[in-house]
Structure 1
């Protein structure tokens, strides 16, 4: 059950910390399932989350279940990176004239397979009644793909799209 008094900044802090714990791993199946439910629970049942800079195009996430699946995919992607450290850092929250909307600047920092990385992010988040109802997540998708060992797959997918165009 969402906290109706949670601010947009509180919610995005909770989400980014949860994603860090999720990607770092070390949880048994029930713990992971509970964290996936917790993360999806920060969002309204019907929401609008987009990743405008996604290299293969943006697929809006419209429901809690879609978000839960999205977070679960992050776990699958991170497993190929070996031992991983992954946590949000240097978070700055910019309040806007609309009390429902914040702009959040931060980076996910850590290491994967012994290599240090930084993934800069800017999220524009709208929350109401303690739930995120809309978010535009601008992250460094190519660097994230590199960190988790997926550049070859991304290059092949982009080449496949180019030949179909």
Structure 2
């Protein structure tokens, strides 16, 4: 797989890669290769944050951390019928920075969902060097039947 050439292409390939992981329609060998390729879209030293993460934001700073993050895709053990990124990439005055306004849309265990997201991403030489990913984490937990676990984790951290 060749590296995407433009920031717009890079963010679209990442979103499609996440979609493929969550959908879970990969063999174990395909999944491992896919994880390597997805992490390879990021610079070795990067700064990826999820400011709206309900349990707090832990910056992801290396490809290895990103690979581990992607390996925890929420679809494991679920019957994911569809999971895809639908949206538009907006260019900015800075040629390295794009804003990807999207929704992850799909269905899990027969229930449809749409999860709004906005990614503000800096791509240099075909690799992501910085990203702020604003996603609907509560909606994701709801879609994958994990609200009770999220609520318990939040209760534990607020004590």
Contact kept? 1:108, 1:119, Cα under 8 Å: yes
Q: Could you tell me which residue of structure 2 aligns to residue 12 of structure 1?
A: 11
Distance in 1 of aligned mates of 2:39 and 2:2? 11
Q: Deviations over 1:41-99 (max 9, x none)?
A: 0000000000000000000000001000011001xx3124323310011x211111110
Contact kept? 1:17, 1:88, Cα under 8 Å: yes
Tell me the secondary structure at the aligned position of residue 30 of structure 2: helix
**Uncovered stretches (5+) of structure 2, i.e. residues with no partner:** none
Distance in 1 of aligned mates of 2:49 and 2:80? 29
Tell me the secondary structure at the aligned position of residue 72 of structure 2: helix
Distance in 1 of aligned mates of 2:157 and 2:20? 34
| 1:95 and 2:91 aligned | yes
Tell me the number of residue pairs that the alignment of Structure 1 and Structure 2 aligns: 159
CA RMSD of aligned residues (A): 1.3
Q: Could you tell me which residue of structure 1 aligns to residue 78 of structure 2?
A: 81
Between stretches 120-129 and 16-25, larger displacement belongs to: 16-25
Contact kept? 1:106, 1:122, Cα under 8 Å: yes
Q: For 1:11-90, what aligned pairs fall within 5 Å after superposition?
A: 11-74=10-73, 77-89=74-86
TM-score (norm 2): 0.95
**Uncovered stretches (5+) of structure 1, i.e. residues with no partner:** none
Higher helix share: 1
